[in-house]
Structure 1
Amino acid sequence: MNARTTTVGVAIAIHSIAASGSAQAADNVIIRNPTFEQLASLTVTSVTGTARPQFTSAAATSVLTAEEMNYIGVRNIPDALRYAPGMQVSQFNAPRWSISSRGFNTITVDKLLVLVDGRSVYTPLWSGTYWEQHAWLDQDLDRIEVINGPAGSVWGANAMNGVVNILSRSARDTQGMTLWAGTGTEEKAFGSFRYGGTAGQNAWYRAYVDYAQHDDTELGDGSPTGDAWDMTRIGFRYDRDDELNRIFVKAEAQSGHFDEPGFIPSPTPPYRTRPPDGFNRGGFIQASWARNLAESSELAVGAWYERLERRLQPTDEQSDTVDIGVRYSRQAARIHSIMAGALYRYIQHDTTSTFQLTFTPPDRTLHQWSVYLQDEVQLARQVGLTLGVRAEDNPFTGTEWQPDVRLGWSLTDSQLLWAAVGRAVRTPTFADESRTFVNQVLPPGTLGPGTPPVIREVLGARDLLSETLIAYQAGWRGRWSNGAMLSASAFYNDYDRLILYVPLPLDTVTRAPDFWTLSLLPVNNGTAHAHGAELSGAWQSRPRWRLLGELSYVDLQVLPSESLLAKNITGSSAQLQASLRSYLDLGKDWQIGVGLRYVDQLPALNVRGYVAADVRVAKALGGGVQLALVGQNLWDDRHAEFRTASFPIDPYIERSVYLALTWRR
């Protein structure tokens, strides 16, 4: 696993933290303008926790490489995920996105696990991912692995509908200096500087700093929403790789400022007020060590610590997270590849109470343990079976079991048929258990003459159970000598114990005489089923021209149908999505990338379907300098992508243009 590398282009494999805090490495081969065979040999680690060829993985996988995203001018992770089949991506306003897999597209997506170099960025306070903190798509990105469907046996609770693993390049592959700067109509200013060098034999490092400043989105009347933001990030990475050991260290700090749009509830007339400006600051340090042992075995340990201070509506929080993991893997008797590991996670959350949001108690501590075991069995030369199970203990529901079975059958060297069935859970959060969230104050007299103001609020409940999913999947992949590949998958998901909300009777006592209260209480009274399919293909019609396409369909029904929240969830995900990308090199100096997307309507949110087009034209100027002009959302002047009652404003995503200059030496 010490393949020589070059330093430009697209990464065909990865070097990352994987398997819940442990290190897992694969060869890195960085190649400009990859051939069909090189694209076909992409590997993924997110399915089983170990590097496997994507073509033979028994899962609905897609890999978005750095070069693919750069070709069409993508500037952030959410926009990149729009081109992954099965992913539901909606931008609400300048710093906020709703991102899910196979449905359940809400403002707080709680059934998708997101990893950055194997480090979980799922928050147990609200559930989901703070995308304004993790949306960076920097110059050192390697790839984004997307797994549709449950992966709880490898990654644990909340990897329910899918996993997104964002992987950066090894410091070995980012030697030298890179300067990147640009300006545009929506991204007012952005830039990054990175320098990489050697740190002795078989050791490399890089240091980097990034900055981005974003303009407001637009309201329906054309006025600014008031949601501009900016963020600065500084970091360091170290990699060492020799015959026996692999060492990985990464540290990063960031600070961002956010203008908060709209209004929040207030206890005094006019019962609403402007929110204070928001911020997001913190940092982390992450390290792992893997040791090659005798008899084709490996022992790996990893750990990370993160500190976060965040005030973005509706939350004012501070948290400290410690994650420690160990993994042992071994190739046994040629037909078994066994992996076992354990993980401990500690999270301390401190919150500041406001009229809008209170946690009881305001400070909470989470201790979480898990152990997992996986066996990849080669039943025959063309048939492989993967059996996995994870047991996880959490403070909300106790011990949860998440088993998974995957079968792959190589029909020929160029065709694979696979099937999988698995169980996954979404555990309750601190918010589900202990929040009081005021989302509106109705003025006096709303419920009749002389009645006091009425508070509408969402409560927590301490007796909630985990949401469960049994997922059934099947798929097929094929590739042909003429430079074409095709992948198809189908699924049926059966959900139980979904957390919905029931209204409580009007409370005229608890906050009287100042207020009456209308409350919603979370209960496990929801069920759902979803079925759908995803199709993706690639065709390299000419050595310098590639076409890629994606098509996905999902039909989600959440019950009971009389529940307003169930109706909203059912109608908040696009049933049909499609995209087409074209990558063309004109000689050695010019690049033209085009991305075209269609997203179906969201009937529950009164959001129309839309078409979006992105175009990038780049010219190499010599001396390691490249100039790129990018247009995004060119199909129309603006469109809406998402609505939510949590933020009663209607932002629109505008057409934008930016100019970027890159210098490498």
Structure 2
Amino acid sequence: MSMSLEELANADIRITSAAKKPQALNEVPAAVYVISQEQIRRSGVRSVAEALALAPGVQVNKISTFNWQVSMRGLNEVLFNKLLVMIDGRSVFSPLMSGTYWHTIDTILEDIERIEVIRGTAGTMWGGNAANGVINIITRNSHQTPGHFIEVAAGENQYQELSYRYGFSLNDHWAARFYAKGVKSDYYSDWNDAWQNLRGGFRADYDGSEREITLQAGGFETRSSHDWTVADFYRPSDSIYSPARLNVYHRGAYASVDWLEHGETTSYELHLWLDANETNEPSAEAEFYTFDLDTLAHHSLAAGHSLTLGGGARVIHRRTEPYPGDFLRQTEPWGRFSHDPRGTDVILNAYLQLDSQLTEKLTGLLGAKVEHFSINDATEFQPQARLLYHVSPQQQVWLGAGRGAVTPSFVDSKTDGYILGQVEVQNNATGANTVHPMLISTTANPDMDTETVTTVDIGHRISPTAELAIDSTLFYSRFKNLRMLDDMAIQCVYGLCTDGTQLPHGMFVIGNSYSDALDAESYGFETAVRWSPMPVFTLNTSYSYIRTKADCQGYSSCEPDADTGYRLNHELQPAHYLSVQSLWDITPEWQLDLWYRYKSAVSTSNDFYRAPSVSTLDLRLAWQATPHSPQIELIVDALGKGHYRDLPTKAKLEDSITLRAAWNLL
């Protein structure tokens, strides 16, 4: 689906993620934003994660040169588990963390048709993790990508990229393509940590009058190298710590089949995908093998009603790191172990949704999903109800409410984690200070309830002219059973532990456990404006205001005067987010695009959470002599910014320049 800027400004877009069927954007009673291929290409981004900052309600924080932290509608965390992320309907979350490793999510950006962003609870259609929203990265049909495509790029921080894709037709119905992409860069801008990402894939599409089939397969591997330290606590105190080099990999492979049969009154779909992932990163070392089957039927009833029925199963086999025989012989700065390192988890679901034309201008939908998670033996009910009123062909108002659940993660129910540090202790008699090794451990809690959210939102869309479209949403969400850590407890002092164990070198151990005692509520306002005052110039603007209030009982971090803890982590976040993207066709050969982003400061007396506002301006200047010539781009990230941090506790970032050339050869 290739669209002009005029079509985008007029919101003449069809999406599939809201109800698992094609719908015009102005027929969807939910907060939906579509990031087009044109917006992605002209933003100059190098990754999918960066492009998501174009959408309202999505918070994208850069935590290294090539890694990101993405959340939606607040509750910002490194591995946000309340957002379902998919590529062509295939979930790409980690079963270990129940979140997304964004540095592993990539493809040739030219092959992305659009990114559909649904804000708010979408559990009825998509189930676990669609609690705060859904991101569906939809790639182009193979029939749309014939011939050769080559892209090369180079820039600061040792950045290099090479991509190649070849598409071809087999007959009138079948088309296919292969692709390969490689990226190299420094992982951090001020450290010598090399990072690389290699991936490749295949897609074939069959398009018939009554049948559509898509076959996909591919794989990836990321590698990075970092300075590291290991400790042997059986060695003398002056030689416990030894320098080392940590070589981290994350690799995966997938295969999928999507089969659609279109009938006169009923259409059927079957979606099957297989996925294998593994990493040796110390805090997440594991292997996961996933089989997912989803089936559904759309049936047209009489008098403007339609019914969607579906169900599915997901089977996840895991291999995680067991406790070593002698943990103190080689202790790394952090790590994670499991008492149940081998096992298989199952997720089962069934759902239905009724869409009805209630009056000439009013439509409604009512649906529900039942989902069972074997990992905590919980069954969750996820209903939703929505109304859409067409004030006029150019203006709609909608109202919705729904409940969603978060897929339980293996990390907080089956694994124990630790961080290695040191503690300095003063001798009261002599006044001298002594330094001792210290372990901070976090133990699993298998008895936690499932995280859930209930959301109510109301929206308004208006397109008074073909050049202007405005989409606004108000929302309120109530979260229950959010994960947190309970109070620290001293387990070992000067090497002597409460269970009688004696540890070497006077080691201290402080421990805590996961808990589901945290509740929260968030509310806010989101708006997106597309304005094309002239055919050669367009502004895409989005703004979000998000506030969160969290509460818990019985823990020191829940007290009003607490200076740290999960409650403050959620509450002390930026409230305002702004994105303004301008697209200017100076001449048929030249384009100048600017992208301004802003997030507000965090004002508090607590030094740990205080953060200044962050604003950046990206520039893209592109030249293409003819439509069949290579396109040459100069891209400047964070123009004139120098060194800065996107989050106060994360790595330093800096402005950078990249040169990129892309060539489509039909």
Normalised by the length of structure 2, the TM-score is 0.90
Q: Which residue of 1 aligns with 2:652?
A: 652
Q: Distance in 1 between matches of 2:549 and 2:53?
A: 23
Q: Distance in 2 between matches of 1:199 and 1:465?
A: 51
Asked if the contact 2:10–2:467 (Cα under 8 Å) also holds between the matched residues in 1, the reply is: no
Question: What SS does the aligned partner of 1:432 have?
Answer: helix
Asked if the contact 2:207–2:213 (Cα under 8 Å) also holds between the matched residues in 1, the reply is: yes
**Cα distance, 1:660–1:394 mapped onto 2, change above 3 Å:** same
Q: Which residue of 2 aligns with 1:156?
A: 127
Q: Which residue of 1 aligns with 2:555?
A: none
Q: Which residue of 1 aligns with 2:320?
A: 351
Q: Tell me how far 1:334 sits from its aligned partner.
A: 3.8
Query: Could you tell me which amino acid in structure 1 is paired with residue 503 of structure 2?
Result: P
Q: Which residue of 2 aligns with 1:374?
A: 353
Asked if the contact 1:92–1:643 (Cα under 8 Å) also holds between the matched residues in 2, the reply is: no
The yes-or-no answer on 1:473 pairing with 2:473 is no
Q: Tell me how far 1:225 sits from its aligned partner.
A: 2.9
Question: What SS does the aligned partner of 1:315 have?
Answer: coil
Q: Tell me how far 1:516 sits from its aligned partner.
A: 4.0
Q: Tell me how far 1:558 sits from its aligned partner.
A: 1.3
The yes-or-no answer on 1:88 pairing with 2:67 is no
Q: Which residue of 1 aligns with 2:485?
A: 501
Q: Distance in 1 between matches of 2:226 and 2:435?
A: 32
Query: Could you tell me which amino acid in structure 2 is paired with residue 357 of structure 1?
Result: R
Q: Which residue of 2 aligns with 1:183?
A: 154
Question: What SS does the aligned partner of 2:226 have?
Answer: coil
Listed one character per residue, the Cα deviations across residues 607-651 of structure 1 (whole Å, up to 9, x for unaligned) are 32111111111111334311111111114112101255xxxxx41
Q: Which residue of 1 aligns with 2:38?
A: 67
Question: What SS does the aligned partner of 1:201 have?
Answer: coil
Question: What SS does the aligned partner of 1:247 have?
Answer: strand
Asked if the contact 2:181–2:200 (Cα under 8 Å) also holds between the matched residues in 1, the reply is: yes
Q: Which residue of 2 aligns with 1:389?
A: 368
Q: Distance in 2 between matches of 1:165 and 1:584?
A: 28
Listed one character per residue, the Cα deviations across residues 142-181 of structure 1 (whole Å, up to 9, x for unaligned) are 1111111111111101111111111100001001111111
Asked if the contact 2:27–2:388 (Cα under 8 Å) also holds between the matched residues in 1, the reply is: yes
Asked if the contact 1:608–1:640 (Cα under 8 Å) also holds between the matched residues in 2, the reply is: no
Listed one character per residue, the Cα deviations across residues 351-382 of structure 1 (whole Å, up to 9, x for unaligned) are 23465211111223111111111111111111
Asked if the contact 2:229–2:241 (Cα under 8 Å) also holds between the matched residues in 1, the reply is: no
Q: Tell me how far 1:122 sits from its aligned partner.
A: 1.5
Which stretch has the larger CA shift, 110-119 or 428-437?
Answer: 428-437
The yes-or-no answer on 1:247 pairing with 2:213 is yes
Q: Tell me how far 1:602 sits from its aligned partner.
A: 4.4
Instruction: Write the mapping of 1:496-645 to structure 2, written as runs, cut at 5 A.
Output: 496-507=480-491, 508-510=497-499, 511-514=501-504, 515-560=507-552, 561-562=558-559, 564-571=564-571, 573-602=573-602, 605-622=609-626, 623-643=628-648
Q: Distance in 2 between matches of 1:38 and 1:87?
A: 21
Q: Distance in 1 between matches of 2:62 and 2:436?
A: 37
Q: Distance in 2 between matches of 1:150 and 1:84?
A: 17
Q: Which runs of 5+ in 2 are unaligned?
A: 325-330, 492-496, 553-557
Q: Tell me how far 1:587 sits from its aligned partner.
A: 2.4
Query: Could you tell me which amino acid in structure 1 is paired with residue 196 of structure 2?
Result: D
Asked if the contact 1:245–1:292 (Cα under 8 Å) also holds between the matched residues in 2, the reply is: yes
Q: Distance in 1 between matches of 2:341 and 2:427?
A: 32
Q: Distance in 2 between matches of 1:346 and 1:165?
A: 21
Instruction: Write the mapping of 1:128-527 to structure 2, written as runs, cut at 5 A.
Output: 128-136=99-107, 138-186=109-157, 188-218=159-189, 224-260=190-226, 267=233, 274=244, 276-293=246-263, 295-353=264-322, 355=331, 356-395=335-374, 396-443=376-423, 445=425, 453-481=437-465, 483-507=467-491, 508-510=497-499, 511-514=501-504, 515-527=507-519
Query: Could you tell me which amino acid in structure 2 is paired with residue 653 of structure 1?
Result: L
Listed one character per residue, the Cα deviations across residues 72-114 of structure 1 (whole Å, up to 9, x for unaligned) are 2111111111111111111111333111001111112111110
Query: Could you tell me which amino acid in structure 1 is paired with residue 452 of structure 2?
Result: T
Asked if the contact 1:36–1:540 (Cα under 8 Å) also holds between the matched residues in 2, the reply is: no
Q: Distance in 2 between matches of 1:452 and 1:91?
A: 35
The yes-or-no answer on 1:111 pairing with 2:90 is no
Asked if the contact 1:492–1:530 (Cα under 8 Å) also holds between the matched residues in 2, the reply is: yes
Q: Tell me how far 1:505 sits from its aligned partner.
A: 3.0
Q: Which runs of 5+ in 1 are unaligned?
A: 1-10, 12-29, 219-223, 645-649
Which stretch has the larger CA shift, 130-139 or 313-322?
Answer: 130-139
Asked if the contact 2:40–2:109 (Cα under 8 Å) also holds between the matched residues in 1, the reply is: no
Q: Which residue of 1 aligns with 2:27?
A: 56
Question: What SS does the aligned partner of 1:55 have?
Answer: helix
Q: Tell me how far 1:34 sits from its aligned partner.
A: 3.2
**Cα distance, 1:59–1:280 mapped onto 2, change above 3 Å:** same
Question: What SS does the aligned partner of 2:109 have?
Answer: coil
**Cα distance, 1:36–1:386 mapped onto 2, change above 3 Å:** same
Q: Which residue of 1 aligns with 2:327?
A: none
Larger Rg: 2
Q: Distance in 2 between matches of 1:616 and 1:285?
A: 35
The counterpart of 2:5, out of the listed 17, 21, 34, is: 34
Q: Tell me how far 1:250 sits from its aligned partner.
A: 0.5
Q: Distance in 1 between matches of 2:303 and 2:243?
A: 67
Query: Could you tell me which amino acid in structure 2 is paired with residue 553 of structure 1?
Result: Y
Query: Could you tell me which amino acid in structure 2 is paired with residue 346 of structure 1?
Result: V
Which stretch has the larger CA shift, 498-507 or 537-546?
Answer: 498-507
Q: Distance in 1 between matches of 2:261 and 2:99?
A: 33
Query: Could you tell me which amino acid in structure 2 is paired with residue 375 of structure 1?
Result: L
Q: Distance in 1 between matches of 2:294 and 2:581?
A: 39
Asked if the contact 1:607–1:640 (Cα under 8 Å) also holds between the matched residues in 2, the reply is: no
Q: Distance in 1 between matches of 2:187 and 2:162?
A: 19
Q: Distance in 1 between matches of 2:23 and 2:426?
A: 61
